[in-house]
Amino acid sequence: MSTLQPDTLIKNPHGCHVVSSVEVPTDAAQVWAVVGNFGGFDRFIPALSHIELIGEGVSSLRKKCFKDGNVVVEQLNSRDEQARSMTWTTIYNTLGVANLWAAMNVEALGEGKSRATWTIIAEPASGGEEALPGFKEFVQGFADDAMGNVLKLFV
């Protein structure tokens, strides 16, 4: 009988890399209050019906429930209030994503102006290399739509 060793299903993705960024005519702290709210992404992703949070701070989980019935469960990996940044990893989903790591950050660009950036690295659940172009287009479109909605909240 072999001795069990620590293992995990959570792995850093090596698939597509997308970045979506918007310049917002608002103070960075106000923008961070929206995009830095781990449980508040339904404010700028209208496809979400609601979000359930389990725990607080780093290692907390969020269950994003979509209006179409899809579900995504993610874990908050890091959060830095001063740097206005956080990262998370998807641990379960019904969207056809094998692994996903994401980061959100907000930087001040001067008085009353800031930039919010969402970075995503993800792999499709099936299709291998052949699926990457369409998958990347889907992920980029999703992120761009969400960040466009962030901008609309402040203009």
pLDDT digits (tens, 9 = 90+) for 12-40: 888 899 999 999 999 999 999 999 999 99
CA angle 130, 134, 136 (to 5 degrees): 105
pLDDT reported for residue 13: 87
Across the range 95-100, mean pLDDT stands at 92
Angstrom CA distances, 14 to 41, 98, 134, 148, stand at 25, 10, 16, 26
Instruction: Give bridge partners of residue 116 from the DSSP assignment.
Output: 22, 106
Task: State phi, psi for 68 to the nearest 5 degrees.
Answer: -85, 5
With contact defined as beta carbons under 8 Å apart, do 34 and 150 qualify?
yes
21 in helix, strand or coil? strand
| Band of residue 51 on the pLDDT scale cut at 50, 70, 90 | very high
pLDDT reported for residue 56: 95
Separate counts of helices (H) and strands (E) for the chain: 2, 7
Across the range 68-72, mean pLDDT stands at 98
Rounded distance between C-alpha atoms, residue 43 and residue 141, angstroms: 17
Work out the percent of the chain whose per-residue pLDDT is above 90: 83
96 in helix, strand or coil? coil
pLDDT higher than 80, residue 151: yes
At 80, the amino acid letter reads D
pLDDT higher than 90, residue 58: yes
Across the range 62-71, mean pLDDT stands at 98
Q: Is the whole model's pTM more than 0.85, yes or no?
A: yes
